[in-house]
Amino acid sequence: MKKLLPILMVVSLFVTACQLGGGSAGQPTAIVLPQDESQSNADAGETRNSAADGMIEVFIPAATFTMGGVDPRAASDEMPIHQVQLNAFWFDKVEVTNGMYAVCVKSGTCRLPLSFKSQTRSAYYGDPQYADYPVVYVTWLEAKTYCEWAGRRLPTEAEWERAARGDDSRSYPWGDQIPDASRANFSNLIGDTAKVGNSPAGASSFGILDMAGNAAEWTRDIYQADYYGSGLSINPQGPGELATIFNHVVRGGSFQDVEADIRVSKRASVLGSNPNALIDSVEWLGTYSPKIGFRCASGN
């Protein structure tokens, strides 16, 4: 792990950083989420600002939507295509940035990223010119910690796909048009992360940005390849905190991923944090990468 000597320097740099603003198969069972997910008078796409970190949050109304691989390139773990009913929720407009994350570090709640670099930059986290770029090298547990500090939580896999797909069966957040540099940072077009919100043409129907490429994103759910066949279709939250399985679903693809891997239904399985392991051990940390960041959701 990188030495923590630069902590005070990092904090001072970011104080003034710019911030954006159990049912059986076939018998779905409604799952109660941690907060009241259904009470809101907001309109679809309405926004608000988080008092904790300045994040712009976007309202996603309750609905039933199509989830899963709707095109010929779909992998087996994207099947079967199914209808999912979700309560209303709020969803971060962009990925959590270096500047936002630094506020949590300054509060004493979040740990520093496991590296201050990015894929090609020797200085990234702590460098003011990258304050509005997605934070990376953050473990699943630290992403969860941040979201809870900010009064939010990691999104479920279903919420993530709903926010990206909207109310139709599109393959990408913006529709079915083939990705290009105006819509997404992918396929090593620049070889590293870009400033959040840098591809407005790639916005989802709710106006949410960077859901294809840039940094891949942690979700709350444990990964299970055949989970879509479980029959759970009302506020699904994955197969649960399985005692010996800590692979989590990562969504959206990164700046390195090719076009087929930034589709809204594409699922990736990445080793998350094992909270039962020795603190700071390889197992406790899990995966951290210059290609993985996160964003948060909220139910009230």
**Cα(291)–Cα(297) distance, integer angstroms:** 20
Helices first, then strands: H and E counts in the chain = 5, 10
Q: Which domains does the chain have, with CATH numbers?
A: 11-300 (3.90.1580.10)
pLDDT by 10s per residue, the chain, length 300: 433 333 333 333 333 333 333 333 332 233 334 444 444 678 999 999 999 999 999 999 999 999 999 989 999 999 999 999 999 999 999 999 999 999 999 999 999 999 999 999 999 999 999 999 999 999 999 999 999 999 999 999 999 999 999 999 999 999 999 999 999 999 999 999 999 999 999 999 999 999 999 999 999 999 999 999 998 899 999 987 665 678 999 999 999 999 999 999 999 999 999 988 999 999 999 999 999 999 999 998
Specify the pTM.
Answer: 0.86
Task: List C-alpha distances in Å: 192 to 22, 252, 255.
Answer: 42, 15, 6
Whole-number pLDDT of residue 40: 62
Whole-number pLDDT of residue 289: 98
CB 136 within 8 A of CB 291: yes
CB under 8 Å to 120, separation ≥6 — which residues? 191, 192
Whole-number pLDDT of residue 299: 94
Whole-number pLDDT of residue 2: 37
Give me the amino acid identity at 160.
Answer: W
Q: Is 97 helix (H, G, I), strand (E, B) or coil?
A: strand
Give me the amino acid identity at 12.
Answer: S
% helix / strand / coil in the chain, to the nearest 5? Answer: 20, 15, 65
Partners of 71 in the β-ladder: none
